[in-house]
Amino acid sequence: MDVLSYNLDEIERWLLMLFRISSMLMVFPFYGLMGFPMVIRAAVAVLLTTILFPIHTTVVLDLEPGIISYFGAIVKEIIIGAAIGMVGTFIFIGIQFAGQILGHIMGFSMVNVIDPQSETSVPLLAQLLNYLALIIFLILGGHHFLLLAIDECFLRIPVGGGIFDPLMVEGIARLSADIFIVGVKIGSPVLVAILVTDFALGIMARTVPQMNVWIIGFPLKIGIGLLTLSLTLPFFVYVFGKLYQDWQGNIIDFIHVMAG
């Protein structure tokens, strides 16, 4: 009877770890792409759970007998995993925000495509920058860091642990506010170039009233925007590298905040 009870407890702990890891992988960059077959994502979650299961044996959960209390523990693990995964996506949301701004001021706001990650319609330029950032992310080893973050999560927040307090909400709010800062940093070269172009077109409209500035300005802003974007790709790589370093620290800090 004791052996049966022990095995049941271990199975419960394994399942709780699986729910937390699965919720992270569903939201994390790269691993959460809708292009990943669900079977592969489930297999990766099971593999990671099996690897980490004998390593992180600490449990701070004292369940009362009954399915309701265990269901509450499952919900808590899912929330912890989803919150950490959501923090990991903020940098890419900022990249897409930059693409939306640039696409709007360049005249691409009507050219939208379906984003396979979010299954929503996004501007073409936002999709381009997002995939470019994802390539740099993989080159920098970001997908490896996310696996280390999962291990750090169970090290700092054992199964059944974690606290939900105002500091956690404040951390998510502060990090989500950085989305706007990321967008401005990434799109600043093109924003400046388009602003100068609009200023020059405004002067032309005043000095040469018979010229149709709108017809001239539409293709001109697209050309200058794309030219500036191609010339500043090294700047994009440099800024994303700096943001990536901050992003790593933000995830670890957020895990520590949830650990209490």
DSSP 103-166: HHHHT-TT-EEEETTTTEEEEHHHHHHHHHHHHHHHHTTHHHHHHHHHHHHHHHS-BT-----H
Q: What angle do CA 162, 168, 173 make, to 5 degrees?
A: 155
Query: pLDDT band for position 168 (50/70/90)?
Result: confident
- Specify the 3-state DSSP secondary structure of 205: helix
Overall average pLDDT of the 109-136 stretch: 73
Which of 6, 152, 166, 14 is CA-nearest to residue 88? 152
Q: Is residue 141 within 8 Å of 244, Cβ to Cβ? A: no
pLDDT of residue 7: 45
pLDDT of residue 4: 42
Overall average pLDDT of the 117-128 stretch: 70
User: What's the CA gap between 17 and 46, in Å, rounded?
Assistant: 9
Query: pLDDT band for position 127 (50/70/90)?
Result: confident
Residue type, 112: N
pLDDT of residue 116: 55
User: What's the CA gap between 29 and 24, in Å, rounded?
Assistant: 10
User: What's the CA gap between 249 and 173, in Å, rounded?
Assistant: 16
Q: Is residue 179 within 8 Å of 94, Cβ to Cβ? A: yes
Q: Is residue 1 within 8 Å of 118, Cβ to Cβ? A: no
Which of 120, 235, 81, 257 is CA-nearest to residue 175? 257
User: What's the CA gap between 88 and 220, in Å, rounded?
Assistant: 37
pLDDT of residue 114: 58
More confidently predicted of 208 and 148: 148
Overall average pLDDT of the 205-227 stretch: 82
Q: Is the model's pLDDT at 142 over the cut of 50?
A: yes
**Which residues does 149 contact at the CB level (< 8 Å), separation at least 6?**
84, 88, 251, 252, 255
Mean pLDDT across the chain, nearest whole number? Answer: 83
User: What's the CA gap between 150 and 219, in Å, rounded?
Assistant: 47
Which sequence spans correspond to the domains of the chain? 2-259
Which of 184, 177, 192 is CA-nearest to residue 98? 184
Q: Is the model's pLDDT at 20 over the cut of 90?
A: yes
Q: What is the pLDDT of residues 73-97, one digit of tens each?
A: 888 899 999 999 999 899 998 998 8
Residue type, 218: F
